[in-house]
Structure 1
Amino acid sequence: MGRTSSSASRFERRGIDLVPDTERYGRPRDLMFLWAGTTMTVFTVVYGAFVVALGLSLGQAVLAIVVGNLLAYPLLGLASVQGPATGTTTLTISRASYGPKGARVLGVFAWLTLVGFEAGGLILVVFAALTLLERAGVAATPAVQIVAIVALAGVQLLLPLFGHAVMMKAQKYFSAVFAVAFAVMAALVVPQVDFGAASTAEGASLSMFTVAVALVMASGGLSWAPSGSNFSRYLPTTASRPAVAWYAALGGFVPYVLLQILGAVTASITLDASDPISGLPGVLPAWFVVPYLVLAMVSLLVQNSTNLYSSGLNLQTAGVPVSRIGMVVADTVLCAVITYVAVVGESFYDMLNAFLGLLVVWMAPWVAVYLTDWRLRRGRYAPAELADRPGDRGRARFGTPGLVAQALGMLVAALWLHSTTYVGPLSTWTGGADLSIPAGLLTASLTYWALARRAAFRSSDPRERATL
């Protein structure tokens, strides 16, 4: 699918095909800046406010945030380790366990997940832009809404089109700017908190605490795991595996914990903290509202660039024969349409809660199969296993162990899910607890291990290169 240009003035055309050794660059610590810049958004603050909205006290919310991220971000780190070894994307590597045809279904799931996050981010960006326009005296008429959606969708298109090299550089600078801006925001909000009153709040039950932990995991490290190797694949094959895992996990973990705690703290002084555009600015001084709205817009556009870059790659893994650039453009158009529907219908928060609650059903089993397969084969992959070519014969097109493990994991996760739109029977029987993630992880991992542990995994020949 073409060669990747090292020039910042040209669009990257490489899709899921293998990155040759001659085009590898960077260091594992670069991943820390990428994920820090990606996760430092007002969305992260909102997730912290959602935790308190579940009825948790401030102390419970902080504990749920720390525990949830400690469980989730190592998954992103471990899902980034395979990139340098294979030179391709995370969902393409999944073909080793699901088969080239079987992995197409997971590619569609992963694509839909990122489209959901992209649309959610763009919706908030548009809300922030319309708020700024109204402060400037421009009414949010239907025509203004459409122009804002089209213009902002076009802006978020740029970084993904330029590709990996430009995004890695840009995220390094954005992460520093965002860190300063959110530090100022914290300095303005925290002094307003009555920690004495917050510490005596009654709080929620243990079952609701598990729901909060699941929300934290789903909104953070677990949802980013399918994109892990998409960005580590350009690292040299000699890159340290522990360093890749550590820097990727740390880059997302630290901002998520700090900003989610900021969201929880803010929710303790205003019930509108879960509304980052019309609610949360109410606790900010008047002079900081406009900078805050600009920060919200820029940070979410940067986060969406990471989503857009990965979502097109996932759709290629799903077997759609379109170039990476074509995928990015198509995703942007789809996000613009979803954004228009949400802005007109004012149903954003219901959509977001339902989306977060349901995505763990497929994602927890997937990451379990992916990492169990990696452990069983000791990190060795054969490029032929990752290719999806119609002319290939003599090898399985569907990976039965992976597909069976995925199906069983999804079933168990759904039975133990507690979301705003659905509560599984096992959750009901356990007092409303949400154990969908650990149940899905454990079921899928043990099933795959039992079915695939005797497989003769082939080692990757460094001289063998497949066109994916």
Structure 2
Amino acid sequence: MTATETTTTTPTRRASGLEVRSIDYVPQNERHGKVSHIGPLWFMCNAQIATLATGLISITSGGNLIWSFIAIALGICIGTFFMAAHSSQGPQLGLPQMIQSRPQFGYVGALLVWLFAYIQYAGFNIFNSVLGGEAIGGAISTKQASNPLWIWVVTIVAVVIALVGYDLIHSFERYLTYLTVLVLALVSLSAVIHLHIPASQFDLGHFSPVAFFGQLGVAAGYQISWAIYVSDYSRYLPANTKTSSTFNVTFWGSVLGGMWMMFLGSWIAVSAKDIGTNTVVDIKAVADALFPGFGVIALIVFGIGLISVTALNMYGGSLTLISSIDSFVKVKPTLSIRVITLVVTAALSLGFALFATADFLGDFNDFLLLILYLFIPWTAVNLTDFFIVRRGHYAIAEIFKPNGIYKRWGWAGIGAYLLGFAAMVPFFNVAGVYTGPAAHALGGVDISLFIGLPVAAIAYWLFTRRVDVAAEQELARQQALEIEEAAAAHELP
């Protein structure tokens, strides 16, 4: 049996059918599943209406279809490369994604990125629950599409899925993939057949730098935004899972889902009379053009997809909140702490979703840019540490010690992050909010992505030249058996 298909029958640690583990290490005797299962999960995370709305950015900024497609393809591939690299960390470390930031930023210093991560979880939940509510409400009755009841329904069902935990999330996404692919294929067929696309939309001579780089940046940012979740859903895989297998399955699942939906969003946008005013209405109209009543089916399926991705945000938000609390008060991972943090995360998301602005597309665009700006330096620091500095070798027990070898404040990571972010600021371009001098000089083109990544990565590499990696690896080997025994007993120090 290859590493790609390695599987065991050992279930996730549970109490009354609910997952207990949260930020703690997953011992070898609880590792299970196939790496191939994470492909459908990441396909489904992108094969939903919020992703489709992201494909409208270039069109609404004055670009045409062919350059929108090119920008989307490049942006998705760039962003997913980094996201999939994070995914490969899960089986090796057996830890959720955000807790892995402690070796770079410190036991307390990691709060910097955890705060940003929690904002992202809450933000995506707002957009996803609003869209999910509109989709399900619109399928039942056009008059009820904006009824707050459906936002409540999306939130509650998502919390239940997140509470049951890792295994249900994987199974739910895997089986939903089959239905979504069928519906999405039919909607795409209807769009190609029934929507008129002017010939000018395929003119390569019509190039708008602002629209092109705006779309590329948002597409890349959308994919990179998954980086803070990704190891959460690979950490239970057997430790002998090949890094390349985890990377490839994550990459292609995410790329296919994201590219398909964003392409469809652009295609619909160039033929819609009211571009970007109501994504749910546009999807229903395109589906109904294939045969009457299909619009209702499509909205229900896409609505369920938004519930599933909201569950991921609830799950990840809970892990991040537990990590943050643990920086101040030692947390023993239990079912109770999972329930409490899930309820808090859901309450915050629901509260903001019920009062969300009607300017969905504009707000979503700005939100994605904010995520891109905040997490580019983090992803550079985290991946440089994992693949270049420490090469995947960490003393797991030390991650949970306030005064361990990774210290309370990781000034190398914090300094590199701040330098990377500072280098990006002149290249920021948030319409109507801020245009940096470099972006202004470039005619409004935002290339901050390509500035922050190398600056943060190189700075971190330079700042960690004196790290005694050999000593850390020896400590990790000494602690390996101890950490396995402690985690199996659910008594991680």
Q: TM-score, normalised by structure 1?
A: 0.92
* Farther off after superposition, 418-427 or 326-335: 418-427
Cα gap change, 1:139 to 1:304, in 2 (>3 Å): closer
| Structure 1 residue 197, shift from structure 2 partner | 3.9
Which of 75, 88, 93 is residue 86 of structure 1 equivalent to?
93
Residues 443-468 of structure 1, C-alpha deviations (whole Å, 9 max, x = no match): 10010011112311212222131727
- Displacement after TM superposition at 1:240 (Å): 0.5
Decide whether the 8 Å contact of 1:8 with 1:162 is kept in 2.
no
Residue 302 (structure 2) pairs with residue 296 (structure 1): yes
Which of 396, 411, 418 is residue 383 of structure 1 equivalent to? Answer: 396
Q: Which residue of 1 aligns with 2:407?
A: 396
**What residue number does 1:239 align with?**
241
Amino acid at match of 1:382: A
State whether residues 118 and 304 of structure 1, in contact with CA within 8 Å, keep that contact through their aligned partners in structure 2.
yes
Helix, strand or coil for the counterpart of 1:193? coil
How far residue 339 of structure 1 moved from its aligned partner, in angstroms, is 1.0
The alpha carbon displacement at 1:38 in A equals 1.7
Q: Does the residue aligned with 1:318 lie in a helix, a strand or coil?
A: helix
Pick one of 268, 272, 281 that aligns with 1:266: 268
Partner of 1:175: 177
* Candidates 435, 440, 463, aligned match of 1:423: 435
Q: How far apart in 1 are the matches of 2:206 and 2:297?
A: 34
Q: Deviations over 1:188-210 (max 9, x none)?
A: 11122336342248634224311
1:327–1:350 Cα change, 3 Å: same
Note closer, same or farther for the CA distance 1:139–1:310 as it changes in structure 2 (3 Å cut).
Answer: closer
Q: 45-54 vs 281-290, which deviates more?
A: 281-290
Residue among 263, 282, 298 paired with 2:285 = 282
Residues 347-366 of structure 1: pairs in structure 2 closer than 5 A = 347-366=359-378
Task: Work out the CA distance in 2 between the residues paired with 1:68 and 1:337.
Answer: 32
Q: Which residue of 1 aligns with 2:454?
A: 442
Do the aligned partners of 1:103 and 1:317 also contact (CA within 8 Å) in 2? no
In the alignment, which of 198, 214, 217 is matched to residue 214 of structure 1? 217
* Residue identity in the other structure for 1:116: G
The answer to whether the aligner puts 1:250 opposite 2:263 as a matched pair is no
| Secondary structure of 2:279's aligned partner | coil
Deviation at 1:133, TM superposition (A): 4.4
Q: Tell me how far apart the structure 2 counterparts of residues 216 and 381 of structure 1 sit (CA, whole Å).
A: 32
The one-letter amino acid paired with 1:367 is: T
Matched residue of 2:481: which SS? coil
- The aligned amino acid for 2:312 is T
2:465 is equivalent to residue 463 of structure 1 = no
Equivalent residue letter for 2:72:
I
The CA deviation at 1:280 is 4.0
Q: 1:239 offset after TM fit, Å?
A: 0.8
Structure-2 change in CA distance of 1:371 and 1:201 (3 Å): closer
Aligned position for 2:81: 74
Q: Does 2:347 correspond to 1:333?
A: yes
- Against the structure 1 CA distance between its residues 222 and 393, is the aligned structure 2 distance closer, same or farther, given a 3 Å change threshold? closer
- Distance of aligned partners of 1:395 and 1:107 in 2 relative to their CA distance in 1, 3 Å threshold: closer
Q: TM-score, normalised by structure 2?
A: 0.87
**Of 312, 318, 321, which aligns to 1:315?**
321
AA of the residue aligned to 2:426: L
> Aligned pair 1:409/2:416, yes or no?
no
1:399 positional shift: 0.6
Indicate if the aligned counterparts of 2:75 and 2:220 stay in contact, CA closer than 8 A: yes
Q: 1:42 aligns with which of 30, 38, 49?
A: 49
Q: Which amino acid aligns with 1:156?
A: A
Select between 404-413 and 380-389 the one with higher mean Cα deviation: 380-389
Given that 1:65 and 1:260 are in contact with CA atoms closer than 8 Å, whether structure 2 keeps it comes out as yes
Distance of aligned partners of 1:328 and 1:264 in 2 relative to their CA distance in 1, 3 Å threshold: same
Amino acid at match of 2:456: A
Offset of 1:10 from its aligned partner?
1.2
Task: Give yes or no for contact 1:80–1:228 (8 Å, CA) kept in 2.
Answer: yes
The structural deviation recorded for 1:294 is 1.0
Change (3 A) 1:265 1:350: closer
Instruction: Tell me the SS of whatever aligns to 1:341.
Output: coil
Q: Structure 1, unaligned stretches of length 5 or more?
A: none
Contact in 1 for aligned 2:218/2:372 (Cα 8 Å): no
Q: CA 1:201–1:116 in structure 2 vs 1: closer, same or farther (change >3 Å)?
A: same
Change (3 A) 1:449 1:256: same
Partner residue, 2:4? none
Task: Provide the rounded CA distance (Å) in 2 between the counterparts of 1:215 and 1:313.
Answer: 26
Conserved? CA contact 2:86–2:230, under 8 Å:
yes
Q: Using the TM superposition, give the Cα deviation of residue 98 of structure 1 relative to its aligned residue in structure 2, in angstroms.
A: 0.7
Contact 2:121 2:313 in 1 (8 A): yes
Structure 2 residue corresponding to 1:433, chosen from 430, 445, 456: 445
- Is 1:59 aligned to 2:66, yes or no? yes
Please state how far the C-alpha of 1:442 moved relative to its aligned partner.
1.0
Cα 1:395/1:164, change in 2 over 3 Å: closer
Tell me if the contact between 1:178 and 1:295 (Cα under 8 Å) persists in the aligned partners: yes
Is 1:19 matched up with 2:26?
yes
- Report deviation, 1:422: 2.4
How big is the shift at 1:218? 1.1
Distance apart, 1:8 and its partner CA: 10
- Mapped pair 1:370 → 2:382: yes
| Partner SS, residue 293 of structure 2 | helix
Question: What is aligned with 2:133?
Answer: 126
